[in-house]
């Protein structure tokens, strides 16, 4: 599962990191609480050039008659992505990366209260989530949309949640983006257990209206 994340790296730094040409429609950063249906930064390969551009987080299959014409598809399961009608063409032909500086997951206490955790890279400046994208058009409305690919959590993260985003190392970006031929399916696994750190954060992030760097600060007793 990946339902919220943060991105704090400036857009020009993202463009440099991913060796991509930035678009003129990029979301405002920093954003410490990226939510479903928000515009997100994405990296895709097109005509031999990587492009950094905005997409709506929430994949809209072509048969939806409206953006809310079916379930909100923010994630695509790695185990079934190649068979699901919504994703099977995109996973072969339209793969992209979603940059993030961290993401949130939740546990519950004995009273069923949602307790948020912030998960972030130990060594890298930015995480690159594997994702797929889809153009959707209806009645003059044109949207470019995406979903983040998830997989079974590694042992370190499974104590918090049983799913996690597929996180790609820089050396794997070309294969995922289709720049190195076939074989991207083998990349849809969890990262090494020592790749990520995490800590509890305050419950303010439980609201999709919450903003500010304090959302990722460690919870103090």
Flag whether pLDDT at 124 surpasses 90: no
- Once rounded to an integer, what is the mean pLDDT over residues 101-107? 97
Mean pLDDT for the chain overall: 96
- pLDDT the model gives residue 125: 87
Query: What is the layout of strands, in order, in the sheet containing 196-200?
Result: 31-34, 5-7, 102-108, 114-121, 196-200
Give domain limits for the chain: 5-216
- pLDDT the model gives residue 180: 94
Q: What is the pLDDT of residues 196-208, one digit of tens each?
A: 999 999 999 999 9
Active site residues: 2, 105
Transcribe 119-142 into DSSP letters. Answer: EEESS-S-EEEEEEEEEEEETTEE
Q: CA gyration radius for the chain?
A: 17
Query: Which of the four pLDDT bands, split at 50, 70 and 90, describes residue 221?
Result: low
Residue 16 half-sphere exposure toward CB, CA atoms < 13 A: 6
- pLDDT the model gives residue 208: 93
What percent of the chain shows pLDDT beyond 90? 94
Topology, domain 5-216: hypothetical protein yedk fold (3.90.1680)
Flag whether pLDDT at 172 surpasses 70: yes
Q: What is the pLDDT of residues 125-165, one digit of tens each?
A: 899 999 999 999 998 999 999 999 999 999 999 999 999 99
Q: What is the pLDDT of residues 40-85, one digit of tens each?
A: 999 999 999 999 999 999 999 999 999 999 999 999 999 999 999 9
pTM, to two decimals: 0.97
């Amino acid at each position: 599962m990946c339902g919220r994340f943060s991105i704090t790296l400036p857009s020009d730094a993202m463009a440099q990191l991913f060796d991509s040409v930035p678009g003129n429609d990029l979301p405002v950063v920093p954003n410490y609480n990226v939510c479903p249906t928000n515009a997100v930064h994405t990296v895709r390969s097109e005509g031999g050039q990587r492009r950094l551009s905005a997409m709506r987080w929430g994949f809209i299959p072509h048969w939806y008659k409206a953006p809310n014409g079916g379930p909100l598809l923010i994630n695509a399961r790695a185990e079934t992505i190649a068979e699901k009608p919504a994703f099977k063409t995109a996973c072969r032909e339209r793969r992209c990366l979603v940059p993030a500086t961290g993401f949130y997951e939740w546990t519950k206490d004995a009273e069923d209260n949602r307790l948020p955790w912030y998960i972030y890279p130990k060594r890298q400046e930015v995480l690159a989530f594997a994702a797929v994208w889809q153009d959707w058009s209806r009645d003059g409305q044109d949207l470019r949309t995406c979903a983040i690919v998830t997989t079974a959590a590694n042992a370190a993260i499974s104590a918090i949640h049983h799913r996690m985003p597929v996180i790609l190392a820089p050396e794997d970006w070309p294969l995922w983006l289709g720049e190195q031929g076939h074989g991207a399916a083998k990349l849809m696994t969890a990262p090494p257990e020592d790749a990520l750190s995490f800590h509890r954060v305050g419950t303010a992030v439980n609201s999709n209206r919450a903003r500010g760097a304090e959302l990722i600060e460690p919870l103090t007793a």
